Structure formats: C-alpha cells, structure tokens
Amino acid sequence: MASCLARCPTCAASTPNNLLKIACSEQKMIDPALLSATSALVGALIGGGASLAAAVYTQRYQDRLQRVVRETNKRELVYADFIMAASKLLLNAYGSEGVALKGDEQHLIGLANRMRLFAPPNVIDEAEQVIRGIVEISLQPSVDLRKLTAAELSRDREHDLVLPFSRACRADLDRIFRVVDVR
C-alpha cells in the first residue's frame, strides 16, 4: 500500500485518522488455487478433529461400560457365594447345637468382610443380620428336619433369614445399572 500512495488517488486520500479505510484497487487478490487448498486443509483438520473427538468419547464410554460389567460380575459372585454359604450354614444350624468355627463359617465371615470393600452399608448390615441369625439359631436346641420343614412351610417368605440380604443385593446391582443405564 505504501508503494501505491504516490500513484493511486484512493490510497492518498485515506489517512491514518480516517476511520473508514478504502480498499486500494491495486491490492493483490488471493490466488484461487491457494484459497481452495487452504479451505480443503482447514476442512480436513476440522473433520479429523471431530472424528478424533468422537473416537475418544466412544472409547471412554466403552471403558466405562466394561468397568461397570466387571464391578457387577464381582459383586454378583460375592453376593451369590454369601447366599449359598449362608443357606448351607442355616440348614446346618437347625440340625446342630452350638457354634463351631469350621471352614464354612470362616468362609461366610470372609465373604462378609470382602463385601465391606465395595458393598453399600445396607448390604453389609443385612449380611451381618444373616450371620447373627445363624449364630442365634445355632445356639438353640437342634430341630428335627421334618419339624423344620413343616415350620418353614407354614411361615410366609418374609421370615426367610436370607431374603432381606438378597433384596438389598438386588437393589445394589440395580443401582449400578441405573448409573450407566445399560439395561
């Protein structure tokens, strides 16, 4: 623009104090090939960035789903082991007198302690209730299997010692699924 001040009356008329800049007719135009290449490059960068962002988002979502599946499987395994061990000990408690810390009892207490690492407080409370119930039944005189069966059949399901624990476990697993909404 400085070189055309002397030749161009339009450039000579524009001053630094003039708020309205008037374009010089002698200014060079951008080469269409360069404009086209630059546009293609910017478009490719934007498209590549969008693809990268989508890939990162998808990968993070997949990783989160895999973590939830691993956590759910771990909890289901421990909960199911506890229910099976408690059911076995409950039947043994009705048929025997006194408490003995053999392998099954130790396994049940170990499962309860393992649940303390990840389970919510209500599940742990229910597990402790099951253990207390088994101990209380073990301290009572033994019951004949026929009498036990008749007594259990006459009661409703709400008196099942393991049922509240099972319900708390189901609520915990449902809560995990709701967090991710994978169902």
Q: Residue 30 domain-assigned? A: no
Question: Where does 96-162 have alpha helices with state H?
Answer: 103-115, 121-139, 145-154
Residue 176 reports pLDDT greater than 70: yes
User: In this prediction, what percent of the chain has a pLDDT beyond 70?
Assistant: 72
Strands (E), the chain: none
The domain tally of the chain equals 1
The per-residue pLDDT for 8 is 57
Place of tokens 């170990």: 110
Question: Is 55 part of any domain?
Answer: no
Classify residue 15: in a domain, yes or no: no
- Residues 27-85: pLDDT tens digits? 667 788 888 888 989 999 999 999 999 999 999 988 988 988 899 999 999 999 999 99
4 assigned to some structural domain:
no
Number of separate helices (H) and strands (E) present in the chain: 6, 0
Residue 120 pLDDT exceeds 90: yes
Q: Record the pTM.
A: 0.65
Residue 11 within any structural domain of the chain: no
Q: Which two tokens stand for residue 14?
A: 């524009």
Q: Which residue range(s) make up the domain with 165? A: 68-180
Nearby residues of 137 by Cβ (< 8 Å), 6 or more positions away: 90, 93, 94, 161
